[in-house]
Amino acid sequence: MSTSETAPAAQEWVVKIIDQSGATEDNIIEQVKGFLDLAHANAFARAYVRDSIERCRVPGASSREVLESWFSFGENAEVIDAGDDGWKANSELDDFVSSPATPMERDWRSLDPRRLVEEDGVFFDDKTINDHNDEDDSEVSEIIRH
């Protein structure tokens, strides 16, 4: 490959969070960027929707009632430009509403790329203790918490 030719840029995967209540003009709450690969973006989208469904679940509600509540008040997540390889909520909605999720299945926060901070080639999360000098915080990146 000559110097004038370059390798194609890696795909940047983006997950869009969609407010199904119609509270926003275009129903998009936010777009989350920074995923390591498509599998990471898919796992985040799946866990995000799983958590949203659980937040719409009330004790004693039927599967149909949980689904109706989610379509009225929940949030969906889609991987932008992933085509058939992107995770889709409709492929698992029946399973999600019929059986409550475990805490691990709902843990989209641990998959959120905004929680990762790269410092000298090492990724830190909010549980990692950084060994930097506490007197000089000028080069420390802030970790976003939700």
State the DSSP string of the chain: --TT--PPPPP---EEEEETT--SSSSEEEEE---SSHHHHHHHHHHHHHHHHHHH--TT--HHHHHHHHHHH-EEEEETT-GGGS--GGGTHHHHHHSPPPHHHH--GGG-GGG-EEETTEEE-TTSPP-S-TT--TTPPPPP--
Residue 66 lies in a domain: yes
Residue 33 lies in a domain: yes
Look at the chain and report how many structural domains it folds into.
Answer: 1
Residue 118 lies in a domain: no
pLDDT tens digits for range 105-135? 999 999 999 987 555 444 544 444 344 444 4
Q: What is the pLDDT of residue 116?
A: 72
pLDDT tens digits for range 61-71? 999 999 999 99
Residue 8 lies in a domain: no
